[in-house]
Amino acid sequence: MNFIGIDLGTHGVKAAFLDDLGNPKVLTTDTGEPMLRSVVYFEDNGNILVGAEAENAGLVDPSRSVANWKRHMGTEEVLYKAPSGKEYRAKDICAILSGKMKKIYEQRAPGRS
């Protein structure tokens, strides 16, 4: 059985797992960073960017960016409404970021899936 521990922070998301010897290993992002920035950006075409890429895109169009979402956990406040009408709340942003870390884990952790 495989386990991953995810720390959803206000500014970043970190994750770790146990290697085959039971030693904890910090997961690195696609760019080799030990932390994924806690930012989500919604592109016009429906793509969702996360991390530093989302943070950079948000500099160009902040209206499509969600950061500092953690303070809204437990509320039903809409943090972003897509042109399609789909609404994103803090729990949805949390799920997007957690899903990205899971995907990174599946790609980077040796012998894991």
**Segment-wise mean pLDDT, segments of 10 residues, the chain, 113 residues:** 84 90 88 92 96 96 96 97 96 96 82 52
Assess contact for 106 and 91: CB atoms under 8 A: no
Please give the pLDDT value at position 110: 62
CATH superfamily of 4-108: ATPase, nucleotide binding domain (3.30.420.40)
User: Domain coordinates of the chain in residue numbers?
Assistant: 4-108
74: left (phi > 0), else alpha (psi -120 to 50), else beta? left
Q: What is the pLDDT of residue 113?
A: 45
In this prediction, residue 109 carries a pLDDT of: 67
